A = this chain, B = another copy of it.
Amino acid sequence: MRLLIKNGTIISAESEYVADILIEGEKITAIGTGLGNGADEVIDASGKYVFPGGVDEHVHYGSFGSLTFETTNAAVVGGTTTIVDFAPQPKGLSIKESVKKHNETLAEGIAMADYSFHGMVMDPTEDLIEEILTLPEAGISTLKFFMAYKGSPFMVEDDIIFKALQVAKKAGVTIMVHAENGEIVDILQKQLIAEGKTDPIYHAASRPPLVEAEATARAIYLAELANSPLFVVHVTCKESMELVRDTYMRGLPVYGETCTHYLTLTEDNLAKPNFEGAKYVCSPPIRPQEHLDALWEALSRGWLLAVGSDHCANEGGFENDKKKGIDDFTKIPNGCPGVQDRLALLWTYGVETEKITPQKFVDIFATTPAKVCGLFPRKGQIAVGSDADIVIFDPNWKGTITVKDSYHGSDYNSFEGMDQIGRAEKVFLRGRLTAENGKFVGEKGQGKYIKMKPFGLCYDNFKE
């Protein structure tokens, strides 16, 4: 099967030019002009942008009460052809066993986007440290720790992060942290509840920027002490972003991502009436406008590398899950769906407002996440030899984001009613058309498990 996408304007992380793309089987085999002798199918992309399918390096499917891979069509409909899921670690299982089990139970034969797995430490034992050395053999090259959630079994102390950092660099595993000071969150939560401050808006007050900044600073000190790379997930505030930026400036391999909602939703949403604020409860919390501005600038200037969705569609949605916290914000299940809208939000609120260039959009949406996760060059670019994961994008489409068009399976959309400019007109996964104009046209189980290679981007500037 030879497929030709003709005359599109190809956007890469560094350039933009008009050319044809020839796909043979699952791979891109040529980019050129006047290609196409003998193509089985020709698609005209004149006047459209053509860019690599997205790589969302931060999704939750089947962890923390979220819906599972049955709803991964949301990703491809939204132009994201590869998702990197955080595989939860059941008590007593190793990381490799956890990933294997998570894949076999929930993903294999079901996933509708290609996928990969981060390790996510939820049963932090001494054995874990030794296991890190063998993770890459199993295709796992990233490992996340939680510095938050006091009272849960997965909040870790500094010692285990430090030991993990010491070992990880030997194997090229990238240590990731959820950086919030769990001790202080716990005190603030209790103080707020004791004062009768139970509404969703107090979720933000219980996790102020300094709580995130402190943990970020601490993780950075641990990385510097261990002389090891570090990746800070969901950076949400100016203070933490500046820590990541300034540490990198000092020559250390410390990096971070942010997420779509931290770029597009302000803290005010948490104060919406009728408990609507609960729809926006995630941790760290969404922030006031000044932080959004700082995060966009950070992306534009390369101080943060990528934008994940932190997709987490609660099974019970607003009615059955979020409302559990109606009398106590600490009981509201965390997380918001977002994987489907990542492209639309970055384009509409980033490119269209000139906060970022189209090149930078491709960079943070696809290319760099693939590099961070050891999936590049197979994923994340339109280039000869890469998987034919391709979005044909109509920049002229105009619409509104709504749960009615969402495949994520939950009963609300955090971005409900927001304007959308441009749309993924056609999405190809390894050469097969899989979504068209907001509709899923692929098949259940079409997604493949892609193993990570070790020594991802965070090791680029690393010296032992």
A residues near B (Cβ < 8 Å) are: 12-19, 22, 29-35, 37, 157-159, 162-163, 181, 183-184, 186-187, 208, 210-211, 213-214, 217-218, 221-222, 224-225, 245, 248-249, 251, 297, 300-302, 357, 367, 376-377, 381, 383-386, 460-461
Contact = CB atoms under 8 A, between A and B. Distances in A.
Contacts of A12: 14
Given A17-B385, A32-B32, A208 B183 contact: no
Nearest to A245: B249
Nearest to A35: B30
Contacts of A163: 187
A19 B214 contact: no
A184 B14 contact: no
Contact of A157 (B183, B221, B301, B461): B183
Contacts of A157: 183
A184 B183 CA distance: 18
Contact of A381 (B14, B29, B32, B218): B14
6 contacts: A17-B385, A18-B384, A31-B32, A37-B37, A162-B184, A213-B221
Contact of A158 (B13, B32, B184, B385): B184
A384 B184 contact: no
Copies of the chain in the assembly: 4
Given A14-B367, A377-B17, A384-B19, A184 B159 contact: yes
A159 B15 CA distance: 37
Contact of A19 (B37, B184, B218, B385): B385
B33 A29 contact: yes
| Most B C-beta atoms less than 10 A away, residue of A15, A251, A297, A357 | A15
Given A15-B381, A159-B183, 16 more contacts: A12-B14, A14-B367, A15-B383, A17-B377, A18-B385, A29-B32, A30-B30, A30-B31, A31-B31, A31-B384, A37-B37, A210-B225, A214-B221, A214-B222, A245-B249, A301-B461
Contacts of A210: 221, 224-225
Contacts of A208: 225
| Most B C-beta atoms less than 10 A away, residue of A22, A225, A460 | A225
B32 A22 contact: yes
Contacts of A30: 30-35
A17 B163 CA distance: 36
Contacts of A181: 158, 221
A33 B385 contact: yes
A46 to B, nearest CB: 15
A36 to B, nearest CB: 10
Nearest to A12: B14
A377 B10 CA distance: 13
A236 B22 CA distance: 46
Nearest to A362: B14
B301 A248 contact: yes
Contact of A383 (B13, B17, B222): B17
A426 to B, nearest CB: 20
B211 A187 contact: no
A386 B35 CA distance: 16
A14 to B, nearest CB: 5
Contacts of A302: 302
B214 A17 contact: no
| Most B C-beta atoms less than 10 A away, residue of A159, A251, A384 | A384
> Which A-B residue pairs are the 7 nearest by beta carbons?
A30-B32, A214-B221, A19-B384, A158-B183, A159-B183, A17-B385, A29-B33
Contact of A187 (B159, B221, B381): B159
Contact of A17 (B14, B184, B384): B384
A211 B218 CA distance: 10
Nearest to A16: B377
A363 to B, nearest CB: 8
A272 B357 CA distance: 45
A289 to B, nearest CB: 16
Contacts of A381: 14-15
Contacts of A300: 461
A295 to B, nearest CB: 14
